[in-house]
Amino acid sequence: DVKVTQSSRYLVKRTGEKVFLECVQDMDHENMFWYRQDPGLGLRLIYFSYDVKMKEKGDIPEGYSVSREKKERFSLILESASTNQTSMYLCASSWGPYNEQFFGPGTRLTVL
Amino acid sequence: AQKITQTQPGMFVQEKEAVTLDCTYDTSDPSYGLFWYKQPSSGEMIFLIYQGSYDQQNATEGRYSLNFQKARKSANLVISASQLGDSAMYFCAMRPNTGNQFYFGTGTSLTVIP
């Protein structure tokens, strides 16, 4: 079974803190994605990566950066957390760009 | 512009009945994939079913089937014989063949009533 894990299920941080969300997949997938999910807005793509050290902006990259140093790991970084970044963050991976995405359990981030 | 629309924010269905969740999409890409995901209250998104834009037949996976009407740009999910465990959020997604993005709808909350 494909397994996508995320470092935390729940996280509480203060405004201005640097926040790291980590995602690891164990199936050698090329593509990895970070979404945020907010009620009534569905899933919105923040960043994605189709190879190690490669990254592309999604629809809402402002305030975020990413890192992919190894194929299995894709990190989302909030350089200076703000209250409007309180959300559910979902990581996903896929074999190829046309295949279904497999999701991790999500991290519910609260920024106070 | 790529767009996915799910017009039903909430749906109710009686246990053992069938239910249809609506999804329409907009793309200028001639080739694309359509996906449905289920998100239970636990939060994890679970892949349910896939339909390719050139597939001649509607996709089926167990109790799930996809009613694909290409000319109308609709890809409705049909769940037959609903079970209590089907209560969840359901998301429709589209993946055009150009670019690397999936586009998700806003979701439909399904509640199965005993």
List the single residue in B4, B35, B100 with the smallest CB-CB distance to A100. B35
d(Cα A80, Cα B3) in Å, to the nearest integer?
A: 31
> Do B44 and A33 lie within an 8 Å CB cutoff?
no
| Residue B41 DSSP class | T
Per-residue pLDDT for B2 more than 80?
no
Rounded to 5 degrees, φ, ψ at A10 are: -135, 140
List the single residue in A42, A48, A104 with the smallest CB-CB distance to B100. A48
pLDDT at A74: 97
> What residues in A contact B101, CB-CB < 8 Å?
45, 48, 58-59
How many interface pairs between A and B have CB atoms less than 8 angstroms apart?
51
Coil vs helix vs strand at B64: strand
| A90 shares contact with chain B (CB less than 8 Å) | yes
Question: What are the tens digits of pLDDT across the range B29-78?
Answer: 889 999 999 999 988 899 999 999 999 899 999 999 999 999 999 999 99
Per-residue pLDDT for B100 more than 80?
no
Share of chain B above pLDDT 90, in %: 81
Per-residue pLDDT for A109 more than 70?
yes
Token pair 């970084």 in the structure block, residue: A77
> Do A42 and B101 lie within an 8 Å CB cutoff?
no
Question: What are the tens digits of pLDDT across the range A48-81?
Answer: 999 898 999 998 999 999 999 999 999 999 999 9
Question: What are the tens digits of pLDDT across the range A2-28?
Answer: 689 999 999 999 999 999 999 999 989
Rounded to 5 degrees, φ, ψ at B36 are: -125, 140
> What residues in A contact B105, CB-CB < 8 Å?
42
List the single residue in A41, A58, A104 with the smallest CB-CB distance to B101. A58
Per-residue pLDDT for A102 more than 90?
yes
Mean pLDDT over each residue of chain B, to the nearest integer: 93
List the single residue in B4, B44, B97 with the smallest CB-CB distance to A103. B44
> What residues in A contact B95, CB-CB < 8 Å?
97-98
